[in-house]
Amino acid sequence: MRKMTLFLGLALSLSCLSQNKQGYQNPVIPGFHPDPSVCRVGDDFYLVNSSFQYFPGVPLFHSKDLIHWEQIGHCLTRPSQLPLHDATTWGGIYAPTIRYNDGTFYMITTNVSDKGNFIVHTTNPRGEWSEPVWLKQGGIDPSLYFENGKCYLVSNPDAGIFLCEINPKTGEQLSESKRIWNGTGGRHPEGPHLYKKDGWYYLLISEGGTEYGHKVTIARSRTIDGPYDSNPANPILTHINKNAQNNPIQGTGHADLVQASDGSWWMVCLAFRPQTGSHHLLGRETFLAPVRWDENAWPVINGDGTIALQMDVPTLPQQPPVEKTVRTDFKDGKLGTEWVHIRNYHPENYTFSSGKLRLKATPVNLDNSKESPTFAGRRQEHINFTATTSLQLQKATAGDEAGLTVYMFEPAHYDLFVKQLENGKQAVVLRYRLGEMTHIEKEITLPKNEVQLRVKGNKDSYSFEYATDGKSFKELGRMNACYISTETAGGFTGIMLGMYASSGSNISKAYAEFGYFDYSEL
């Protein structure tokens, strides 16, 4: 009995220690997850990100501690909610905001490739969201604020922050749009959010452009429609200054604030991690910082307005989720929430058979900037990683291909694929597309059978390998990472690791069967 008591006491002590853990690693949501917005409902936190040209749109996350996030779906899952015709990496869905009021969740965002600002809502964030209601006030990065039965909209038409009252269920604008702040003089004042604390209305925005000069600024007023006075200590978050010039995190900005049930305040923001010189490839990621917000005072972010990869600060009781599995095996007959397509995809080109994902080859290839190629991709989340898949090309004619792509967007991707040759044989091929230039780096003829393809990434390069027995991988070539980085290629997104199939013929019956997709950090 004494041994049992000691054992229980030890277990309880260890449990208490785990619930008072100090510190965490940034980014809290790695990979291409920009423009985070967060809200709290009880002890639950919900977070959304931009998705640009990818479908489904607006990834939705849940957390109990603001540190460990699980993707529970997307807000926009139907073409009627998310028309992405002709959407490029500069188009589609820009910064969303998520808010909760009186039993209903609202997500407001901008589809710059369609009709602009709109709202969807739901009472169950894990289920389906409503059809969009469109808004009159323009600009991008719209946000909502609820108070006393009223709903207010802020966005940034005409290079400033404008406010109006709306009906969030119908989209009807109930008051004239009024300019309430122009920011501190930085370019692109955007990402506005309203909060109320200690009788003050606080207006948080981002300035400087979502690059190295990004920053977060704040103003306040006693009335919601202003005038708003700027914080003398602006910016409250930036890495453009000398104190962060060597920080491995850069481009901090586009933030949202949330108060936890214990009274503590936190900020989520975007930033990126340069990995080869000043180049970054993973896109803008989601970071977390503590906020000290004394009564009747301005907020202070992490003590000095900067953030770090290792945050040695007190946290909420941490609740790590079940660890992600390395392998996606397709045995469930569906793709998980992490998988997306380019623009509005064609479901008939994606089927499952005998535990494998079958991708139909179509004439729409990865270079096409208008249509949706047969592509299923997931975000690269780590600078050092490995991704492996196994595929067999079936019913193929000369020119049909399928494989693994390291994809930034149409003019910037590296492809490792199996191609059908005219002589009835097949080859494994390494190809790059850089701007107007497409080049076959290497091609090796192989027996016509199942082939395993692998890519390994580090800060400077991608290594491409193949095997025919699932074990003996051989390197086919290496590619320089900086050529498909944001700084070289452009765009607002990050690297996607995708499986794809394409054909040079309109009458091809080719398809590729993918047996699995493995992804892990190295």
Same domain, residue pair 285 and 341: no
Length of the chain, in residues: 522
Give the CATH number of the domain where residue 492 resides.
Answer: 2.60.120.200
Sheet containing strand 265-272, strands side by side = 250-259, 265-272, 285-292, 300-301
Tokens for 386? 């490995």
Same domain, residue pair 267 and 193: yes
Which domain-ending residue is among 311, 335, 363?
311
Same domain, residue pair 296 and 372: no
- Helix (H), strand (E) at residue 154: strand 150-155
Q: What is the pLDDT of residue 11?
A: 42
Tens digits of residue pLDDT in 349-385:
999 999 999 999 999 999 999 999 999 999 999 999 9
Same domain, residue pair 336 and 293: no
SS3 assignment for 77-108:
CCCCCCCCCCCCCCCCEEEEEEEEECCEEEEE
Find the Cα–Cα–Cα–Cα dihedral 382, 417, 373, 385, rounded to 10°: 0
Give the CATH number of the domain where residue 43 resides.
Answer: 2.115.10.20
In a domain, 17, yes or no: no
Asked if residue 7 has pLDDT above 90, the reply is: no
Same domain, residue pair 234 and 382: no
Which domain-ending residue is among 279, 311, 343?
311
Same domain, residue pair 187 and 333: no
CA distances from 129 to 41, 75, 363 (A): 17, 6, 33
The reply to whether the predicted model has a pTM over 0.75 is: yes
Same domain, residue pair 361 and 302: no
Spatial separation of the C-alpha atoms in residues 520 and 381, rounded to whole Å: 9
Number of domains in the chain: 2
Tens digits of residue pLDDT in 310-326:
999 999 999 988 888 99
Same domain, residue pair 160 and 263: yes
In a domain, 16, yes or no: no
Per-position b or e across 47-80, b if 16+ CB within 10 A of its CB = bbbbbbbbbbbbbbbbbbbbbbbebebbbbbeee
What average pLDDT does this structure show over 286-307? 95
Tell me how far the alpha carbon of residue 433 is from its chain's centroid: 23
Q: What is the pLDDT of residue 13?
A: 39
Residue of 88, 92, 102, 105 whose CA lies nearest to 45: 105
Under the banding of pLDDT at 50, 70 and 90, the label for residue 294 is confident
In a domain, 85, yes or no: yes
In a domain, 413, yes or no: yes
Under the banding of pLDDT at 50, 70 and 90, the label for residue 12 is very low
Residue of 395, 406, 410 whose CA lies nearest to 359: 395
In a domain, 12, yes or no: no
Tokens for 521? 């950090």
What average pLDDT does this structure show over 497-519? 96
Same domain, residue pair 199 and 343: no
What average pLDDT does this structure show over 162-182? 98
Q: For residue 517, how many other CB atoms are within 10 A of its CB?
A: 25
In a domain, 1, yes or no: no
Under the banding of pLDDT at 50, 70 and 90, the label for residue 3 is very low
Percentage with pLDDT > 90 across the chain: 92
Same domain, residue pair 45 and 129: yes
Residue of 390, 405, 386 whose CA lies nearest to 355: 390
What average pLDDT does this structure show over 131-145? 98
Which domain-ending residue is among 283, 311, 339?
311
Tens digits of residue pLDDT in 454-495:
999 999 999 999 999 999 999 999 999 999 999 999 999 999
Residue of 288, 194, 291, 266 whose CA lies nearest to 40: 266
Same domain, residue pair 427 and 485: yes
What average pLDDT does this structure show over 172-194? 98
In a domain, 293, yes or no: yes
Q: What is the pLDDT of residue 322?
A: 84
- Catalytic positions, please? 35, 190
What average pLDDT does this structure show over 180-204? 97
Asked if 245 and 304 touch (Cβ cutoff 8 Å), the reply is no
Q: What is the pLDDT of residue 318?
A: 96
Q: What is the pLDDT of residue 21?
A: 60
What average pLDDT does this structure show over 249-253? 98
Asked if residue 24 has pLDDT above 70, the reply is: yes
Same domain, residue pair 287 and 340: no
> Which domain covers residue 241, as residue numbers?
24-311
Q: What is the pLDDT of residue 6?
A: 39
Spatial separation of the C-alpha atoms in residues 373 and 378, rounded to whole Å: 15
In a domain, 479, yes or no: yes
Spatial separation of the C-alpha atoms in residues 409 and 484, rounded to whole Å: 9
